[in-house]
Structure 1
């Protein structure tokens, strides 16, 4: 929801490094496009996997389903049909309900820093399907649009979403890309895969180890826009997501306006925290928390991360470069990190 340009979802500063073996190994590599970005998959062939083209077709079908459920850029998607309808209810897929419920949970867990009803504000600032505004919104315009951002105006009953305000507009892009990663990982496990790496637009899940008994290694990008590497980690059987404000922005009168909108103020964030990385069992959850902690800023974000035992890394801009902070739950991963 917070990260969008003319694509639905964008890469938010997480790269991955895949080191091969000295001799050929049974790693199947697949790549393609989805959700306005790209995906890359590495899976160790266990002898049970379908032929590569068939497996890729199955993956594309899974990701296409996520788009058809959750993309605000598709006018006939489930979420778009819900946004366009008046007060009432709409029966939707189980997957959409799963993602929506996680969005509602994260709203409470982050003191409102992650708000899936913030779509009207994203559009107002020109980071959604609508184009960039020719005039920066006024405080009165922001206040008016914030009235449409009421998460209390949606309820979930089974597979039905209930809309209680005509102006309610939901945007799940802050967690739907991570959900897509989890869906692909689930598909691979159904085929018996025990070792793989799945990456969509920078959100990554790994499982198992490579044939040479080394871990899948993930590079976290330094938030300087130059592609430099800040840290390299071995996740094990976990997921990682990074949110940053250094790629998607525009300038107005010499001031940089980030695509990360604070739901509480209705304005782009304006602090020194420039990147947050979160490690979690769920890519969807890591995705949402990374955005929320970036909104909160380092001090409050670290407080929530430690209270909720989240593994999180915060990178602040400073006059001399960057300063990195870690939550307590992230520190064990530092033993596997090399620069």
Structure 2
């Protein structure tokens, strides 16, 4: 049996190595954002208040960033007239600005403006008429997309709708939601918890036994690789993969992720990309970008960003796993 690979951050601020006051331990779960969430929290707390806090934060993200809600902030922006400036909520502006910065840093491998293209492939809230989409429809959708078309007004927290552009935050909003819940829990005085939403995780503080929150990474089905166990100390984990949501076309696996360079779903992409970062929003977006770029260019991005990244691939005869230098440093710490 393969020996478990253990990853620990090489350094953590001493002030973050804390445990919550009290002897309580709370395990809660629920459903939101089209998926499930769970919380493992140490310390004295009112479970009903915890659940209300989490649902409030996740509900705010839905109202701001869900394309499935016709009156959400993102849906209203997508319907706005060409040339109109829209004042944005703090959370929406934060995610849009981060998404555009990620697009710039990745050369467009991450692009939050592909909503029209995503809809044509049936991955959004709009029912598709043709699959695959007609070439002329795809060409028009791509012409309406592009992160360079968005203009931000930082001072007044506004963005301009250039006309027909459809924002899609599916590669970043879930990570933002985890950050948002973690921040709300900390502001409420909780210092030790592990929160999970749709397979992404964020942790704060230490468990009652003074150990980190241990998480074992999910392996793609059939992957005969050593398990990876991560000690989460003020870290978040996000994973993009092709084994949960995909379609088979002409014998090739197409992931439910769009390559902005082609306007088509990823074909024969890595089976999984996992990124660790202090912000789950950044880990979420980077995992998507590395999936799009592939192992070689994706690892170059991980090195530039100085993050722990793990790429798992099918190599035709078996499985291959590649760790960024920071991930290898965590394994050696």
TM-score of the superposition, structure 1-length normalised? 0.86
Q: Is the 8 A contact 1:222 1:229 kept in 2?
A: no
1:108 aligns with 2:104: yes
Q: 1:225 to 1:202 in 2, by over 3 A?
A: farther
- 2: distance between equivalents of 1:315 and 1:80? 35
Query: Following TM superposition, by how much is the alpha carbon of 1:328 offset from its aligned partner in structure 2, in angstroms?
Result: 0.7
Q: Is the 8 A contact 1:125 1:133 kept in 2?
A: no
Match of 1:11 in 2: none
Query: Following TM superposition, by how much is the alpha carbon of 1:266 offset from its aligned partner in structure 2, in angstroms?
Result: 0.7
Match of 1:66 in 2: 61
1:124 aligns with 2:120: yes
- Cα deviation 1:111-152 (Å, max 9, x = unaligned): 100000011111111111123554312444322221011222
* Residues 248-259 of structure 1 aligned to structure 2 (within 5 Å): 248-259=245-256
Q: 1:225 to 1:77 in 2, by over 3 A?
A: farther
1:325 aligns with 2:328: no
Match of 2:89 in 1: 93
TM-score of the superposition, structure 2-length normalised? 0.88
Runs of 4+ displaced beyond 4 Å: 225-229
Pairing partner for 1:260 from 257, 260, 275: 257
Q: Is the 8 A contact 1:97 1:156 kept in 2?
A: no
Pairing partner for 1:33 from 31, 34, 57: 31
Match of 1:287 in 2: 284
Query: Following TM superposition, by how much is the alpha carbon of 1:254 offset from its aligned partner in structure 2, in angstroms?
Result: 3.6
* Residues 187-198 of structure 1 aligned to structure 2 (within 5 Å): 187-198=184-195
Pairing partner for 1:208 from 205, 210, 222: 205
* Residues 226-245 of structure 1 aligned to structure 2 (within 5 Å): 230-245=227-242
Aligned residues: 308
- 2: distance between equivalents of 1:180 and 1:200? 8
Q: 1:101 to 1:28 in 2, by over 3 A?
A: same
Q: Is the 8 A contact 2:254 2:268 kept in 1?
A: no
- 2: distance between equivalents of 1:274 and 1:102? 26
Q: Could you tell me which runs of 5 or more consecutive residues in structure 1 were left unpaired when the two chains were aligned.
A: 1-24
Query: Following TM superposition, by how much is the alpha carbon of 1:290 offset from its aligned partner in structure 2, in angstroms?
Result: 0.4
The more displaced of 230-239 and 170-179 is 230-239
Q: 1:124 to 1:275 in 2, by over 3 A?
A: same
* Residues 131-280 of structure 1 aligned to structure 2 (within 5 Å): 131-157=127-153, 158-165=156-163, 167-224=164-221, 230-280=227-277
Q: Is the 8 A contact 1:238 1:281 kept in 2?
A: yes
Query: Following TM superposition, by how much is the alpha carbon of 1:275 offset from its aligned partner in structure 2, in angstroms?
Result: 0.8
Q: Could you tell me which runs of 5 or more consecutive residues in structure 2 were left unpaired when the two chains were aligned.
A: 1-22
